[in-house]
C-alpha cells in the first residue's frame, strides 16, 4: 500500500526551462511534506518543505505547491540547471495518534529521476 506516490519515474527538461515534479498521497493524516534531492552515491539531502496550513512555499528557484483537496503536491524548479539533475523524493509525515508515535517518521515516494540537458 503505497501511501505516497510519484507516478513519473523520470523527467527530462532543457536548461533554463521549468521542471515540475509531482507527488500524490492517500493518507489524509499527513500534514507536513518534504522534498529531498539525491545524487548518485550520496545520501538524500533536504530541499524544501511545506506545512498543510499553507498552499505554497518558495525558496529561491524552488517552489512547492500543496493541494490538500486533491492530496497532491508539486515541486517547481525555475530555471532548471544541469546541476539539478538528480533523483527527487517527496516525503510526508503527520501525527497519527495521541501518543505521537509517528513523530518524525517520513513516508517516501518512489522518486523521480530529473535530467536537465544543457
What is d(CA 85, CA 14) in angstroms, rounded to the nearest whole number? Answer: 11
Strands (E), 10-102: 10-14, 19-25, 32-38, 45-51, 56-59, 62-67, 72-77, 86-93
Which residues neighbour 41 within 8 Å (Cβ) at sequence distance 6 or greater? none
Among 66, 73, 85, 94, binds another protein (CB under 8 A): 94
Size of the site for another protein (CB under 8 A): 29
Q: Which is nearer to another protein, 109 or 116 (CB)?
A: 109
**Touching another protein, residues 3-42 (CB under 8 A):** 4, 6, 31-32, 34, 36, 41-42
Min. distance of Cβ 118 from another protein in angstroms?
27
Q: Which is nearer to another protein, 14 or 45 (CB)?
A: 45
Amino acid at each position: 500500500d503505497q501511501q505516497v506516490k510519484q507516478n513519473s519515474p523520470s523527467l527530462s527538461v532543457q536548461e533554463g526551462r521549468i521542471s515540475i515534479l509531482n507527488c500524490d498521497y492517500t493518507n489524509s493524516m499527513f500534514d507536513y511534506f518534504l522534498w529531498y534531492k539525491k545524487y548518485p552515491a550520496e545520501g538524500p539531502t533536504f530541499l524544501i518543505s511545506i506545512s498543510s496550513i499553507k498552499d505554497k512555499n518558495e525558496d529561491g528557484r524552488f517552489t512547492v505547491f500543496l493541494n490538500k483537496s486533491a492530496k497532491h503536491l508539486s515541486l517547481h524548479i525555475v530555471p532548471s540547471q544541469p546541476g539539478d539533475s538528480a533523483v527527487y523524493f517527496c516525503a510526508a509525515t503527520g501525527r497519527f495518534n495521541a501518543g505521537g508515535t509517528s513523530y518524525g517518521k517520513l513516508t517516501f515516494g518512489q522518486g523521480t529521476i530529473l535530467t536537465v540537458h544543457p
